[in-house]
Amino acid sequence: MTIGSMFGDIFKSLFKKPITEQYPFVKMEVPENLRGKLIWNPEKCTGCMLCIKDCPSNGIELLVVDKVNKKFVMRYNIDRCTFCAQCVESCRFGCIEMSDEMWELASTRKEPFEVFYGRDEDIKFLLENSAKGETETPC
Amino acid sequence: MEPKTAPEKFIVPIGPQHPALKEPGHFEFTVEGEVVTNATARLGFVHRGMEKGAENRTWIQGLYLMERVCGICSHVHALAFALGVEKLAGVQAPPRAQAIRELVSELERIHSHLLWLGVAAHEGGFDTLFMFSWRDRETVMDLLETISGNRVNYSANVLGGVKIDISDKQADAIRKGMDFLEERTQHYLKVVTEDETFLGRTRNIGVMSFEQADFLGAIGPTGRASGVKRDVRVDSPYTAYNDFPVKLITHTHGDLEARFIVRIQELYESYRLVRELVDKMPTGDLSVKVPRRIPEGEVISRVEAPRGELLYFIKSNGSDTPERIKVRTPSLCNWSSVLVTAVGHNLADMPMILAGIDPCFSCNDRIVTVNRKTDSTQMDWEDLRQFGIEYYKWM
Amino acid sequence: METEKALELAESLLKDFAISTNRPEENRVDFVIDRKNLKPAVNAILVDKRWGYLSAITALDNALWKVDETTKKKTIDPSGGSLELLYHFCQAAAVATLRVSLSYDDPKVDSICDLISSVSMYEREAAELYGIEFVGTPNTDKLLLPDNWPAGVYPMRKTFTSLEDSAKG
Amino acid sequence: MDVNFPPLVALLLFPGGAFLLFSGLVFEYIDRKLVARFQNRYGPRWFQPLADVVKLLAKEEIIPTGVVKSLFVGLPVIALTAALTSALYVPLFGFKPVFSFQGDLIVTLYLLSVMTLCIGLAGANTEDRFSLIGATRALTQLFSYEAPFLLALLGPAIALQTWNIREINAGAGSGLWFIIAQPIGFVVAMVGLMGKLELPPFDAPEAETEIVAGAFTEYSGRGFAIFKIGRDVELVIGLTLVASFYLGGFNSPLDFLWKTLLLLFVTAALQSLFARLRIDQTVGMWWRVGVLMVLLQLVVIIVGQHLAPIIQPVIQSLFGG
């Protein structure tokens, strides 16, 4: 039976630095295997579409430029991504991995949330085509 | 609910937006002076249609949907789903995967119980305990982030195993964290069992007798605080609980103090278990292959969530999407019993009694479909501002 | 071993009511019972003998699917199918399930609220989402769905696709 | 310190009026910061209370339906006025009270209670259930702490045989400090002050987890801001009273500063040490423990005073003879 049993705590914390994180000023160090933004490597991709099929949030789309020569572009919608890493697990060729970047997901614009991965010329080709309105709009 | 015939009844509504409970749920307490004479609940404010939604998704996508039933016990939902699907498919995850699954669920229990300790203290107006227990909870949150890469939705499970592995460096971090938490928890146990002002708010409040708890089906720490010996980890061990058994912790009083004691003693048990798991982690593969089409059948998968027994009923029709997934979360079981015990107490005790079962509203509310309108317009900042100006012109 | 004993006990308790008994898993036993026997069966297993506790009530829509040969499209055949209620009782590792089949035309079953007051929430959930009528349940207020949800629309039935479709009829 | 301010200056600028309002905000800041530090947090920035008030004053005041409008608008003003008036009789910032007469102690305590009465009325005025319960609780609490708080402040008054705050302030510093002479009175006065200001653990009237903000639930904008300032002013005056009575009175602003801040430190520590008391626990504690203890002490003082003339010659004859 005591009264004020947390006295030790409050007394000690007077002389301690507050534990609160000074977030916008001091950023926390991220752990090395943080699940952040996806990185897609076009070189090894065979276009099996397993990652697209398994993605629970329709966050990634594979746009086909040339199926025979295995030219693909991945459109990655970061705002839809739930960072579950299922696509990393699903890919049998190790094309997808998760980086520890981009964990501050806030913007007043939509553009930073749409990322294209692939060979530069493929992306260029695709963007030009879509400007002409030739490619189908993805879901 | 009693018919609302007597008009002179004084009904105090709590919720859906109420500062006491940080999640939306609506309660109506009929009070006479300060004493509650009747209590009813209305849920469904965070109803997301997950059970229906799961029927339109593949098994793999369902795993991540189920992980998002609840933000606090995300791992156990995915675990129950994965275990059920693996049972249907006739595969079993390798031993190391099972041990990692158990490790993550115990770490999750630690963070959930510490969170509850803070919330319950806050309901009782003991903000210092709230701040300190949440400060220490950061330790285990950081550990979970270190090993899984995310603080809340660890997404450790895949069908057939786990994604994450525990390295030696991480194991050391876990051991250190457990030592720190054990020392702090000892202190909190002393505070909640000895502090006079706090005991005034917990002792003999919200008493649920063994008879009530047993018959009405109270589960988890709420039931165990009334002496009901129910713990899925002991009764029907899943994952690695056979090799790393857990001790059943019960208390006899059934009041709020007993619930505090049971939860805090479970924390000790979890610390011990986590240390043991880290020390004697089996080696081997992390996952096995699970077919995309799951054979026809029905399965019941039960796991012990931090709040009590979580029951999944999974029915497969042989295709790559489930036929029916039924989720029965522990909070739903405990609601009915707690509303019975609420009658006769002071209004001031209500937040603590409600918080005493560690309610999780998101868990309860899952089912209806939400149609994503295809013609929805997206507004950017400027549009929104414009919309606001237009809107307020008419005010 | 204890699980086996518990399951056998459950079988002996319910042998008068069960139309058929089935062991889908090693720790489970299913009893198919008629809906008018539900109350006596619950009384026998839970109230009299305290076999475990009522863990959950699962409602199922066993719709009859027919597949169009040419288009490979799955549609619901309204001539068949049924609703089903599963009452799961758990004792330690053993799970006993009472299965009650209900037709779409007359989805009525006796409420067991007067036996166990805490099932009210489960019954309200099944009533709202599947349109099963529990005769004698004390509280029929909305539990999960919004207050302005149209009457007679049951979202968990297989026939429900969206509110717009339901409004069209 | 004996400085004579012109009445109008004293009323509007210094030490009452504007300066008091401002220092009320400073005291609130220090209180919040201390509590935060006790809980291992950073707490608010220095301008936070001021920013709160400015924001609230700038906001629209919503008057709910079903209230008596004049009361709803007038009550916060009355509460603040009463608090500001009471400032004229206390030795604020170490200066001597602007006005002083025999018995102003009673008037000051009465004025300080007007605040709580206004809160009670404001809660009862609205139709909101939380407000009604908050009002009931606020008034219940008023009846429980008022008597022991008054009795606790009467201790020094009776010992010095004056009902004038200025004389008590002067007399408190001359002999043994009353915190040592009358420790029970000090404790009761401190806890009574916390009850009066509805600080934790006596914040049942506005317990946010039960009844949102109690009587203030329907208040917004200006009305709420004025109540808030009134509460801050009362904090300063309450601390001044207790410090001047029990900590040896004030002779200079510096004296005032360290004594009141010391008391504020103690209050902040008490706030963070305890769980909130239920209203029945609060009432029970005050009447069963608080009142009895203070009454006991009063009896000892009065008996002591009557015995002193008898004993003194005896002592003198023993030692001085």
Domain spans of chain C?
2-163
Determine the average pLDDT of the residues in B308-313.
Answer: 88
Which residues of chain D lie closer than 8 angstroms to B11, CB-CB? 129
Find the residue in B nearest to C158 (Cα): B52
Question: What H or E segment, with its residue span, contains residue B192?
Answer: helix B168-194
Largest CA distance in chain B: 69
Query: For residue D287, what are its two tokens?
Result: 């009447």
CA separation for the pair D227, D213 (Å, rounded): 13
Lowest mean pLDDT among B11-25, B117-131, D286-300: B11-25
pLDDT digits (tens, 9 = 90+) for C98-135: 889 888 888 888 888 888 877 888 888 888 888 888 88
Assess contact for B306 and B331: CB atoms under 8 A.
no
Min distance B294 CA to chain D CA atoms (Å): 47
* Chains with at least 3 CB pairs less than 8 angstroms from chain A: B, D
Test C117 with B51 for CB contact under 8 angstroms. no
User: For chain B, which residues lie within 8 Å of any Cβ of chain C, measuring from their own Cβ?
Assistant: 1, 40, 42-44, 47, 49, 51-52, 87, 214-217, 230, 235-236, 297-300, 302, 309, 311, 313, 315, 324, 326, 328, 332-333, 335-337, 340, 364-365, 367-369, 371
Which residues of chain B lie closer than 8 angstroms to C28, CB-CB? 300
Given a cut of 60, whether residue B3 has pLDDT beyond it is no
**Side chain identity, residue B26:** H
Mutate to test the interface with A, among D37, D187, D277 (most CBs of A within 10 A): D37
- Reported as a pLDDT band with limits 50, 70 and 90, residue B110 is very high
pLDDT, residue A69, reads 80
pLDDT, residue B376, reads 37
pTM reported for the whole predicted model: 0.85
The structural domains of chain A, with segments of one domain joined by +, span 31-130
Pick B198's closest partner by Cβ from D129, D212, D275.
Answer: D275
Nearest in space to B338 (alpha carbons), one of B102, B31, B41: B41
pLDDT digits (tens, 9 = 90+) for B140-174: 998 998 898 888 888 888 888 898 888 888 899 99
Pick C60's closest partner by Cβ from B235, B315, B369.
Answer: B315
Q: Give the count of Cβ contacts less than 8 A between chain A and B.
A: 82
Assess contact for D70 and D223: CB atoms under 8 A.
no
Mutate to test the interface with B, among A12, A35, A96 (most CBs of B within 10 A): A35
Find the residue in D nearest to B198 (Cα): D275
CA separation for the pair B99, B286 (Å, rounded): 10
Given a cut of 50, whether residue B370 has pLDDT beyond it is no
- List, for chain D, all residue ranges whose pLDDT scores fall below the cut of 50: 321
Q: Does A16 touch chain D (CB under 8 A)?
A: yes
Pick B336's closest partner by Cβ from C58, C118, C129.
Answer: C118
| Mean pLDDT, each 10-residue run in order, chain A (139 residues) | 74 81 80 84 85 87 82 85 86 86 74 81 78 53
Angle of CA points C103, C108, C109, to nearest 5°: 115
pLDDT, residue B389, reads 58
Structure ipTM: 0.84
Q: Does C162 touch chain B (CB under 8 A)?
A: yes
- Reported as a pLDDT band with limits 50, 70 and 90, residue B271 is very high
pLDDT, residue B9, reads 66
Which residues of chain A lie closer than 8 angstroms to D272, CB-CB? 6, 10
Query: For residue C169, what are its two tokens?
Result: 């009829």
Assess contact for A107 and A51: CB atoms under 8 A.
no
CA separation for the pair D214, D136 (Å, rounded): 9
Given a cut of 80, whether residue B103 has pLDDT beyond it is yes
Around Cβ B379, how many Cβ atoms within 10 Å?
A: 11
Given a cut of 50, whether residue B375 has pLDDT beyond it is no
Assess contact for B104 and D14: CB atoms under 8 A.
no
Map residue C91 onto helix, strand or coil. strand
Given a cut of 60, whether residue B373 has pLDDT beyond it is no
The CA distances from residue B238 to A45, D119, D207, D215, D241, in Å, are 38, 57, 43, 52, 66
Determine the average pLDDT of the residues in B58-65.
Answer: 88
* Chains with at least 3 CB pairs less than 8 angstroms from chain D: A, B
**Side-chain half-sphere exposure of B324, counting CA atoms within 13 A:** 22
Which residues of chain B lie closer than 8 angstroms to A102, CB-CB? none
Domain A31-130 coded CATH 3.30.70.3270 = yes
Q: Do chains C and A touch (3 or more CB pairs under 8 A)?
A: no
Pick C25's closest partner by Cβ from B43, B215, B299.
Answer: B299
pLDDT, residue B379, reads 45
- Reported as a pLDDT band with limits 50, 70 and 90, residue B390 is low
Task: Report residue C68 CA to chain centroid gap.
Answer: 30
Mutate to test the interface with C, among B214, B324, B338 (most CBs of C within 10 A): B324
Mutate to test the interface with B, among A1, A6, A14 (most CBs of B within 10 A): A6
**Side-chain half-sphere exposure of B294, counting CA atoms within 13 A:** 30
CA separation for the pair D108, D105 (Å, rounded): 5
The structural domains of chain D, with segments of one domain joined by +, span 7-307
Task: Give the whole-number percent of chain C exceeding pLDDT 70.
Answer: 99
CA separation for the pair D23, D50 (Å, rounded): 10
Assess contact for D128 and D205: CB atoms under 8 A.
no
CATH architecture of C2-163: 2-Layer Sandwich (3.30)
Min distance B214 CA to chain C CA atoms (Å): 7
Min distance B352 CA to chain C CA atoms (Å): 21
Go through the domains of chain B in sequence order and give each one's CATH number. 50-364 (1.10.645.10)
Test A13 with D274 for CB contact under 8 angstroms. no
The CA distances from residue D306 to D151, D310, D312, in Å, are 19, 8, 11
Determine the average pLDDT of the residues in B7-11.
Answer: 63
* Chains with at least 3 CB pairs less than 8 angstroms from chain C: B
Assess contact for B230 and B263: CB atoms under 8 A.
no
Given a cut of 70, whether residue B372 has pLDDT beyond it is no
pLDDT digits (tens, 9 = 90+) for B201-254: 788 887 888 887 888 788 888 888 888 888 888 888 888 888 888 888 888 888
Map residue C59 onto helix, strand or coil. strand
CA separation for the pair A79, A111 (Å, rounded): 10
Mutate to test the interface with D, among A5, A13, A19, A26 (most CBs of D within 10 A): A13
Test C155 with B367 for CB contact under 8 angstroms. yes
